[in-house]
Amino acid sequence: MREPTGRRKLEQFLAALGRALRRPIRLYLVGGTVLVDAGLRGATLDIDFTVDADDATAVADFEKVVPALKDRLNVNVEPASPADFMPVRQGALGKSRYVRNYGPVSVYYYDPVSLVLAKVARASERDMADVETMVRAGLVDWAEVEAAWNEVRERPTGWLRHSPDEIERHLAATRSRLNIQAAVPPTADDDRSVQVRQHQRRGRTVRAHWRRPPPRPSGPAQESC
């Protein structure tokens, strides 16, 4: 078993990759690797990634280079993606965060919202701690996570590892840990003048409804009568 990878070793790997490759490639860091690179975690067992390139030869070059680098630098390198755990939101790769370049290698953090949902799906204690870290560090906005979940939960496929119900239970546990109340987003059928929020009271989920005030008319402020 190789030793876990810290930031210094990760940096060495990325720099070596940048020197070894010639054609442009996009390398999306995934999972704990993102937290290590962002300085939010000390080490990760594996450098998890997914790659993409406009030129298929670039990916082939990458696949030839990585095994030798693994051995030379004594790191675990694993192709992985949040899509391995559950469906990801539309345009997830495009929502990834550009970090920096190493020669032709452009490094991104895979869509942080999808990373969080994948960690919630798996829900190991390490995953739960990582989610808390990412939210509290501002790497991800929780409202976006909820919106992404509402988008993907209706997908008919992609649930071989975890069912939607299971992930919903994990999400509830995560909200509790983060002390976040679940917001029920409006649907097309909802009366948009009514706002609905749900919260926990004595162990039960309670939905509270209240009517939004009407929009103020535009123009100068009105004096009260």
Partner 1 sequence: MAIESTGAAEWDELAAALNAYGVFHVAPTDRARKAVPPIGELYRRLALASDPRLQEAFVVLLLTHPATAGVARAAIDTLTGAAHDRAERRYVAAAALQRMWRTRLALAMGPQPSIPPAYLDELGLPSLEEDFGEAALRRLAEQEQARYGYNAWSGYRSLMDMFLGHCRLRGWGRTRA
Which residues, 6+ apart, have CB-to-CB distance to 220 below 8 Å? Answer: none
> Minimum distance from CB of 22 to partner 1 (Å)?
35
Q: Which is nearer to partner 1, 125 or 154 (CB)?
A: 125
Which residues, 6+ apart, have CB-to-CB distance to 126 below 8 Å? Answer: 32
Q: Which is nearer to partner 1, 73 or 129 (CB)?
A: 129
Q: Which is nearer to partner 1, 1 or 221 (CB)?
A: 1
Q: Which is nearer to partner 1, 202 or 216 (CB)?
A: 202
Copy the structure tokens of residue 214.
């009407």
> Minimum distance from CB of 125 to partner 1 (Å)?
4
Copy the structure tokens of residue 193.
């003048």
> Minimum distance from CB of 173 to partner 1 (Å)?
6
Which residues, 6+ apart, have CB-to-CB distance to 172 below 8 Å? Answer: 182
- Contacting positions for partner 1 (CB under 8 A): 1, 45, 123-126, 128-129, 166, 169-170, 173
Q: Which is nearer to partner 1, 9 or 170 (CB)?
A: 170
> Minimum distance from CB of 2 to partner 1 (Å)?
10
Copy the structure tokens of residue 39.
């300085």
* Bridge partner residues of 30 (DSSP): 48
> Minimum distance from CB of 21 to partner 1 (Å)?
30
Burial of 83 per CB tally in 10 Å (0-12, 13-18, 19+)? middle
